[in-house]
Amino acid sequence: MEVGLRKTPILSFLFLGILLLLLCFRGVFSVALNVSNVDPVIIVRPEIFKFYSQSPLYVRGASLTITTAGGITSVTVTIYNDGSRRDAVVYVYIYDDAGNLIGRGSGEIRNIPRRGTRTVSIGLTPQPQYSTAYRIEVDVTGAQ
């Protein structure tokens, strides 16, 4: 190594030149993220609601009942019936962002009129914290 450098001192100056070029133009090759510009912006993780319907029954809405301590105790679901009068079974599943099931419940709605809506409140077991809930799924099927 020492012998090689002694024989070709130009290499060390070339190396220095490349180093200086890198120092001068590093901004061209890098992306600067100014933390002071980012800090005031609060980005909240997305919340996902998924509705699974089977015609003529449609899930039209879901609303969480959240305690002051942040726990989700129940989900109120609105179902629309586009067919003749019938009963329905509603299932609710709540998942965290890793895909783990952290709360579930089910309920039955009787005599949903033709082209009418009904709501049902479904208690959850266990009752997850809102801060851990990532995806809320509601599934409706006709009762047997």
* Binding positions for another protein, rule: CB under 8 A: 1-2, 5-6, 9, 12, 15-16, 19, 22-23, 26, 30-31, 33, 35, 38, 40-56, 58-64, 66, 70, 76, 78, 80, 82, 97, 115-117, 130-132, 134
Distance of alpha carbon 27 from alpha carbon 12, whole angstroms: 24
For residues 91 and 130, which CB has a smaller minimum distance to another protein in the complex? 130
Sheet of 135-142: strand order equals 101-112, 86-95, 135-142
Q: Residue 144: which of 105, 92, 86 has the closest Cα? A: 86
Q: Coil, helix or strand for 20?
A: helix
Closest separation between CB of residue 77 and another protein, Å? 10
Residues 41 and 72 sit within 8 Å (Cβ to Cβ): no
Residues 75 and 124 sit within 8 Å (Cβ to Cβ): yes
Closest separation between CB of residue 59 and another protein, Å? 8
Neighbour tally for 53: CB within 10 Å: 16
For residues 48 and 108, which CB has a smaller minimum distance to another protein in the complex? 48
Closest separation between CB of residue 132 and another protein, Å? 7
Closest separation between CB of residue 108 and another protein, Å? 20
For residues 62 and 109, which CB has a smaller minimum distance to another protein in the complex? 62
